[in-house]
Structure 1
Amino acid sequence: MIDAEAAAPIVTRQSERKVILASSLGTVFEWYDFYLYGLLATVISAQFFSGVNETTGFIFALAAFAAGFAVRPFGAVVFGRIGDLVGRKNTFLVTMGLMGASTFLVGLLPSYASIGVAAPILLVVLRLVQGLALGGEYGGAATYVAEHAPEGKRGLFTSFIQTTATLGLFAALGVVIVIRSAMGEAAFADWGWRIPFLISIVLLGISLWIRLQLEESPVFRQMKAEGTTSKAPLTEAFGRWVNLKWVLVALFGAVAGQAVVWYTGQFYALFFLEKTLKVDGAAANILIAIALALGTPFFILFGWLSDKVGRKPIILTGCALAALTYFPVFQMLTAAANPALAEAQARAPVVVFAHPETCSFQFDPIGRTSFDRTGCDIAKSALARAGIPYANEDGPYDGRALVRVGDEDIPVIDKAQFGAALTPALAAAGYPPKADPAAIDKPLVVAILFYLVLLVTMVYGPIAALLVELFPSRIRYTAMSLPYHIGNGWFGGFLPTTAFAMVAATGNIYYGLWYPVIVAVITLVVGLLFLPETFRRSIHQ
């Protein structure tokens, strides 16, 4: 047990601000780096995955985005162990350097057209390095700030770290919007997308300089002085049931739900606007940016509130609201952002009638499947390329498929015939090739996106304080980092890829929402039954 009085930080308002500012700015930079890729998934799909069909290329681009999340738990284990052995400060200096270097190199990568399959391979390698670095960053920053915070203010102090993910996304959005607007879509898609990655080297230098001014956390200094640091933090954290059980409770009773709400409210909403609802990329970025700007202060509010009423009720309420409202909210988003598509879906739904055995899953990992073997494949491939939602119904029709657009039936005889018949049928039914900018109800879209971000702030604002308080000081960096990054790296990071694959498989543009809804419900149940309230615990132990 650490002497709480000796380990308690001696803070002034100036030192409080310095700790929060330095830790937060560095973490903002890392999130900026990490999320640039997500914002530019559509452009990167064209640059690095042009050897496959468009639907597969986009899913591959999302999969490469998810690859960075896949390795985050490994980064948490590696750097968490180092942080508990040698200190919080030096560890997150290393992670920042790795993140900055790999982001800069993404901006220099040749495209698929230049070097073929080596391009996406190199891209994925750099994403993996980013994921490893981020896996070590968050736990260090959250632990460092919490161990400087006065008793009763950990929720407030660590909520500033919680804003960094959104601020990093907001910064990335701002840079992308400015560059995109200044040079135009064509030049941006050709080479301008590289600029946001390249300028990150400047941010890296500034952030490293700021963090070098910090001292080690008082809790870690006290443990070091007393010789009570862990000699084997991995074994202590995950090899002993007394600690491992809280890792599992933290994962399934808090972080998994927090993660899917976070990625649905910020990334999936952006992808849904741009890819499914066909809103212009720059316009979608601006709408999301406005919602983020309005929502970001609520991270602080809910962090502060969690110091008063507890972490658990706020996080679980956010999960419950997400599970109850996602389907109607995304339907409202469709009607507000692309009313012509919503009206066409209601007035003239598209149905593919075919025997299930004749239908392939519309995903081509090697770019060699033409999807023209059967009438069902021809129909679904054409509808996927056009971005048209559809339903599936069993109907053998003597081995042929038939597509119904409203009241018009189109038999699928061959690819050329079907393509020639489908386009005018969709136009007659009112299906738009893209969202009409003049028809977008921008205030309503922003209000919907703000609601989604508000749910994010509820689940994310108190989570760092909760995780810090669950684990003892000697293994805190390691123990809290793993459930956080499994939750956010796997449950959250794979959400866009999984959800869009579910949409591609079914043709239902809302089907992918089942993924976050189910995970949020699991977290709600596990959290209610097993998650303890921690906001009055001492962290000097």
Structure 2
Amino acid sequence: MAVSSPIPAHVPIGTAAADPVDEAAINRAIVACGIGQIFEIYDFVIYGLMAGALARAFFPSTDPVAGLLGTFATFAVGFVIRPIGAVVIGAYGDRHGRRAALVVTIGLMAAATGLIGLIPAYATLGVFAPIILVLCRMAQGFSTGGEWGGAAAFLVEYAPPNRRGAISSYQQAATALGLLAATLVAFILSAAMDNAAFLAWGWRLPFLIGFILGPVGYYLRTKVEETPAFERTRQHHDVSRSPLRQSLTQYPATMLAAFGLSIIGCVVNYVFVIYVPSFAQVQLHIPASSTFLSTLAAGVICLLLTPIVGRLSDRIGRRPLFFAASAASSVLAYPLFHVMVTMHSLGGLLLAQSVASVILSLYAGPICAVLAEQFPTSLRYTALSISYGFAVAIFGGFAPLISTALVRLTGDPVAPAYYLVAAGILSFIATIFVHERAGLPLPDDIAGSAPSLREKPA
């Protein structure tokens, strides 16, 4: 059955298009969201980059691949809990405001990350050590589940219609900065310390650094004003009492399309940024410092290209870029893994990760804008967070674990490429059903200003 647009062109949008542009407020929103996002992503990603050291500390085994599987399984736990964070924090953000929810997420992330850096190893605490590690990882996942959607909604609701792609792309640029910060710290420590010291205690330092940075983001978020769109919704007494129920009953097809659209970016990111550095160390025997250096270079590429692609999406639309990202992933996945395996060097690793970063930027530039544009203000935080959160949990969070398992089961180091091909096909299909709203006012559902905007039967 064909899916009709939940926001037909003939429906009046209401007051959303008339908001004056407050550049100072927009800049404050960008800084507050950006700093917080850098911190959140740094804390979430550093776990994956420390996978080898964590495996030795908490999952001792004579088989290094088995230890890595245990670490990546714990990494995946953070993603399993992520949709719960999306539901709980998303509903809180739709009821009480985006700013209040984002303050909660950053405080929780700081506490969980700091504790990971202090947990005694398995040799000291026994089985309780990995149990505590799993609980901390769950807290990180819960926080991140509410963080991404809230930051995306926050920036999109501040941006004028013709600049939503550009302004919201700064969130993804901040994500790249968080990745770069985590990778840079990992590279410096692994290069400056001898391997024995790094594995014994050096891996703890990145987690403690992340904890120290938390209060900075917390302070900035308490000082920024709530978005005009949410304030308008609150003034019109249109705040949803049950955003989860309304999202699932009024926008099921749109949420499914948003979920499918998000798959490819999640898989490319977590395969090439999280899995590949550990894969290169364990399977290709490339030094840890070299893998972190390559990931750092790839992150710079994504950081530079993401805002450019965000601006481009304001000019040509969001969907062409997602079609390109999905197709490129499906076509280039196998050649990129083949290059890494056959070259067996830093050069091959750098080439593969750099090309993957270009593909990822086609997705990262417009993703915040296109997802936020699918839903009305009263449900946006919840519907956006759930759609994206489940995609990350199912396809992104398990990407390192699935990739490692595929190599182990098939004996073929190129096997993870097939996972990327499948993800690209799914997102390409989903893009067909996503509604293009670049340059148009945001859909609104304010009582008295516009009729209820929801999906209608085809």
Offset at residue 265 of structure 1 (A): 3.0
- Which of the pair has more CA radius of gyration? 1
Task: Give the match for residue 251 of structure 1.
Answer: 259
Kept in 2: contact 1:80–1:478 (CA 8 A): yes
Q: Does 1:11 align with 2:31?
A: no
Corresponding letter in the other structure for 1:246: T
Question: Per-residue displacement from partner, 1:143-180 (whole Å, max 9, x unpaired)?
Answer: 01111101210000110101222211110111122222
Matched residue SS, 1:296: helix
Q: 1:234 aligns with which of 219, 225, 244?
A: 244
Instruction: Write out aligned runs for 1:402-421 (5 A).
Output: none
Task: Give the match for residue 345 of structure 1.
Answer: none
Kept in 2: contact 1:2–1:223 (CA 8 A): no
Q: Does 1:136 align with 2:146?
A: yes
Kept in 1: contact 2:294–2:346 (CA 8 A): no
Moved over 3 A (4+): none
Identify which range, 68-77 or 270-279, moves more after superposition: 270-279
Corresponding letter in the other structure for 1:488: V
TM-score, normalising length: structure 1: 0.77
Alpha-carbon separation, structure 2, partners of 1:495 and 1:21: 31
Alpha-carbon separation, structure 2, partners of 1:10 and 1:532: 25
Kept in 2: contact 1:265–1:456 (CA 8 A): no
Offset at residue 332 of structure 1 (A): 1.2
Alpha-carbon separation, structure 1, partners of 2:42 and 2:359: 21
Q: Does 1:62 align with 2:69?
A: no
Corresponding letter in the other structure for 1:498: I
Cα distance change, pair 231–2 in 1 and its aligned pair in 2 (3 A)? farther
Task: Give the match for residue 206 of structure 1.
Answer: 216
Q: 2:279 aligns with which of 257, 272, 280?
A: 272
Q: 1:188 aligns with which of 180, 198, 205?
A: 198
TM-score, normalising length: structure 2: 0.91
Task: Give the match for residue 317 of structure 1.
Answer: 324
Task: Give the match for residue 295 of structure 1.
Answer: 302
Kept in 2: contact 1:311–1:462 (CA 8 A): yes
Matched residue SS, 2:425: helix
Question: Per-residue displacement from partner, 1:345-379 (whole Å, max 9, x unpaired)?
Answer: xxxxxxxxxxxxxxxxxxxxxxxxxxxxxxxxxxx
Q: Does 1:24 align with 2:34?
A: yes
CA-based RMSD of the aligned residues comes to: 1.6
Alpha-carbon separation, structure 1, partners of 2:346 and 2:186: 23
Kept in 2: contact 1:155–1:465 (CA 8 A): yes
Offset at residue 540 of structure 1 (A): 5.0
Q: Percent identity?
A: 34
Corresponding letter in the other structure for 2:230: F
Question: Per-residue displacement from partner, 1:120-146 (whole Å, max 9, x unpaired)?
Answer: 111011000000000011111110111
Task: Give the match for residue 371 of structure 2.
Answer: 467
Task: Give the match for residue 95 of structure 2.
Answer: 85
Alpha-carbon separation, structure 1, partners of 2:422 and 2:16: 44
Kept in 1: contact 2:333–2:418 (CA 8 A): no
Instruction: Write out aligned runs for 1:299-378 (5 A).
Output: 299-336=306-343, 338=344
Alpha-carbon separation, structure 2, partners of 1:264 and 1:324: 16
Tell me, which stretches of 5 or more residues in structure 2 are unaligned?
Answer: 1-11, 445-458
Offset at residue 9 of structure 1 (A): 5.1
Instruction: Write out aligned runs for 1:430-441 (5 A).
Output: 440=345
Q: Does 1:534 align with 2:434?
A: no
Offset at residue 275 of structure 1 (A): 2.2
Aligned residues: 433
Cα distance change, pair 39–456 in 1 and its aligned pair in 2 (3 A)? same
Cα distance change, pair 488–287 in 1 and its aligned pair in 2 (3 A)? same
Q: Does 1:126 align with 2:136?
A: yes
Offset at residue 7 of structure 1 (A): 6.8
Task: Give the match for residue 383 of structure 1.
Answer: none
Offset at residue 16 of structure 1 (A): 2.3
